[in-house]
Chain A
Amino acid sequence: MSLTLWSSRCSVTFVRQCSTIFTSNFCPGPVSVSGILQHNSHSPHQLLHHQRTMSSAALGRQDGGTQSRGSTSGAASGVPPFKHPHCDRQAMYAQPVRQIRNKGGSYDYDLVVIGGGSAGLACAKEAVLNGARVACLDYVKPTPTLGTKWGVGGTCVNVGCIPKKLMHQASLLGEAVHEAAAYGWNVNEKIKPDWHKLVQSVQNHIKSVNWVTRVDLRDKKVEYINGLGSFVDTHTLVAKMKSGERTLTAQTFVIAVGGRPRYPGIPGAVEYGITSDDLFSLEREPGKTLVVGAGYIGLECAGFLKGLGYEPTVMVRSIVLRGFDQQMAELVASSMEERGIPFLRKTVPLSVEKQDDGKLLVKYQNVETGEEGQELYDTVLWAIGRKGLIEDLNLPKVGVKVQKDKIPVDTLEATNVANIFAVGDIIYGKPELTPVAILAGRLLARRLYAGSEQRMDYQDVATTVFTPLEYACVGLSEEDAVKKYGADEIEVFHGYYKPTEFFIPQKSVRYCYLKAVAERHGDQRVYGLHYIGPVAGEVIQGFAAALKSGLTINTLINTVGIHPTTAEEFTRLNITKRSGADPTPATCCS
């Protein structure tokens, strides 16, 4: 029984739009170019419409300065303008968009975008759409350990979201085959994954996206330069390419260089350890793997490695999923431990040594007890965080301020230097997510070249951790809500639930849990939604729009659920944490 990835439910839009590669008789070029890279359903038309609605709202505000800004509400009369609870829109819009003469000057280009990833490409293409002359640089420095490289498209396409989701899918499919037996299928349960075939399929897909990206840039008349950019002065950049150097001048620069994985400063780290940059094209099987780091990258990698039959261990220095709701983070970790993924808590690695037989000896230490230990692994994967790529830009030459290894920007994505902007993972303190980068990049281009006023709203961005049992959330974590409003002003509705499909194969429902963090009094506006369970991203996406529209608990519980689904559990929330009642469900359907 061969499960080919071609026919899996891929989230890549151009495949959907042009029918799957497997069933069609050709590998699609950019026939329909909208939404290729971002893997969300934003088409230029939809966003343009949204922007027009927003602009008219912005214009309306110019006379009454004190009225609260409408955000997503249209022109519906009688509806009071929505005042977003934790975002000071007045302050955000108080700073006017800088009017600079930005087109048709004497520079080589109106805009040079440094970085051909999610943010850079979206910005470059949107700028061209609005009449700018644009060049986009992209360059990938090979990984220090294995020399891994990849094509244009950035982290998400090459070594991030896309290969991650495909491998996550591969591992879930393996699980599904075993579950199928319970549903009556005569499957050979001794199925084994073929790592090389998986890697080849994943890489083939990535290469096809690289190709489409290149052609799309050509079609859109964005000049693509495969070179490493560094500043000479505020209007001049030098691009170091394989074939030599090239100097470019531009009116405006957008820095969208993104980040790369960090390596720890311990012996053997760089020589023997790999990162997510290497994992998705690894030529040998990972085998018994030590994943160092318990952020979403570490957990997701450990998760799919387990599903593919390898033995991952997760080494955690302090907490799991830093920045996320910690109750949910612990449930995710427990669900992984339940699946047989051991967690070495409060532990840091000390060194990595290669043995004669090729295995890696990792020495580590418990930071609480000081106790040392060691273990042999086939692979060591560093997932301890990502650093912004400011080092090659020569920022001091132009005086762009940095914070740690990122670039701080204002609400217009402007740096402290007037004609230099930054967008995407490189900016300080904002979610490092593809859809955020894309939207921010597009809005920036519109402000520069289409006279738009709209700023990027970084609040309430929904996200998903693709661990074997997925976790998705939007809005505030419980602890952040408590910090912001005080425990007395917060009500948390929660419950465990049992997905219908889990019964027959007797899949564990122990960690299937969700909660809504809301205002305690008044309208009971929902501040945050958290869900652990299957297809978590699909479940939360719609609720993210609801939250942005001002969802209240009243509306939520008066929404009729779709049955049988797991998403409907949000409409059935009725037990509060405060009541102390047992959140474990007794029955379904009532």
Chain B
Amino acid sequence: MSCGNPTTEPDALMQRRKKYDKTKNCVRCKDAQGNIVIRHTVYCKNCFTPLLIHKFRRVLEPTVNPKPDGPRRTALKPAGNLVIGFSGGLGSSVLLDLVHRCYVALDKSTMPTEGGRDHPRHERVWKKVTVCYVEVCDAFPGMDDRTDEIAHFVSRYDELDFVPLRIQHAFDRTWWERMGRSTSFSDIGVGLADESLLIEPLSQTYPDPLTALRTYLSSLPTPTAIHSSIQALTRVLLLHTALQTGSSHLVLGTSLTSLAVSLISGVAQGAGFNVREESMEEWTPDPETRPTPDTVPDDGTEGARKSKEAKRTVRIVRPLRDIGMKECATWAWWSHIPVVGKEKWVWPGAKPGIGTLTKDFILGLEQDYPSTVSTIVRTCGKLAPKGEVAGKCILCGRPAQRGVQEWKARISIRSQPPPPPSDSDSTDAPATPAPVVPESKADTRPSLTPYLCYPCHTTLTSRSARPVPSPWPDTAHSSVAPLPVWTEARLGTHADVGVSVADEEEIAVAKKMGQEEMKGIVNEFLLDDEEAS
């Protein structure tokens, strides 16, 4: 092989790099010819199935018991039931299929052979399995409602309950009441027009959930913010459904590829502190909004009784996080799973957001350099974010990092006061540099900011320099946007430090830092008058 011109010397053309290591035979059985290449490793069809099931179980089963197993593997006994978050996409379709095979239908071909006929693994792990689907079509113009198709897909699997929700349930007090939560809080919203995020009473009667949803989305500053918000609303809706069904586990169909996308796009939006939550997280409801004991469903099983008594926690697990999108597609094809699919979240004039751009990048990476995608996930798995947790974000329910607003105030240059008038007799003297101080109004009006995590605050306040077309331009623009019901409920019950309710119509927030305090922080950066002149 020479390094000459390929046009005149055919041998000069470099051979195409193989997409697989060693031979075309299966690395597992070493016998059959391979059918699929997964990150340079070749598997035959017969070995691919147990491999996938092993990867699935390996992620899910250590999370089933409330406490992790010790040296001896014990039987799988979760504290409650199971909810499968279903989007209609490839990952959640494969997840549903695997959960049903392994834990409902008890397909013996999916179980390890050791242990014997009476081994506990042959019993049902979860007595009740619910599939929850959140329809988002009402958030985007022209999107089809796929609820019926999804219901038909789920009906292929027996012994599964189906709970369809709509994204606007996040703004629906009737739904909140069905979850067993108190609805005795006033109608409050947030001003999204500027970054103060002031909490104010809604100027009109609380709108219907659909109008509230569209008003909220139309008030968000960027397409990225709209995508992130819908993802967060969906996740919290699923969590409350898990709570209401007495479930201790919520499983999501995030594949290795999707996880890489969400990790990178999350970090790009400031969610580095929650990088671990992207893989697995535990969520507890806000104490002041917990349901009363008699609203917790009791189907008479041991699991339901324990879930009533124990601290209510929902563990979110992503069992497909070691399984790439290619493997999911192969499984779906070979298992004849008729995936419904999901539509892109687009609207007229919208540019791609961070999530869409990241997904395009990762998919391209996976095609040319498949191992890099798993490297992204492995590397993020090693990260241990610094900082302490200061409660849960009032919007997304994830841990919020302590000191975020103080840090933002320190690093941000918000305003520059006009320079002092110059002396006309000293034209040669250098102009007095204007002191640059962070904006620090003595503003005691209540704000949503202290309750938000960094990425949610950025989502609500980070604006594009260009005008952003709204998905619902005809929706009447309001200076005060409605909030999700769980956010309103938590504000309304004022259980957080520093919040007091003056009366039913007003919330007062204690100011944490005054103007003099702020000046004290930046004092070392201010020039003295003697130095300046």
Do chains A and B stick together as partners?
Answer: no
Which residues from chain B sit less than 8 Å from chain A, CB to CB?
Answer: none
Which residues from chain A sit less than 8 Å from chain B, CB to CB?
Answer: none
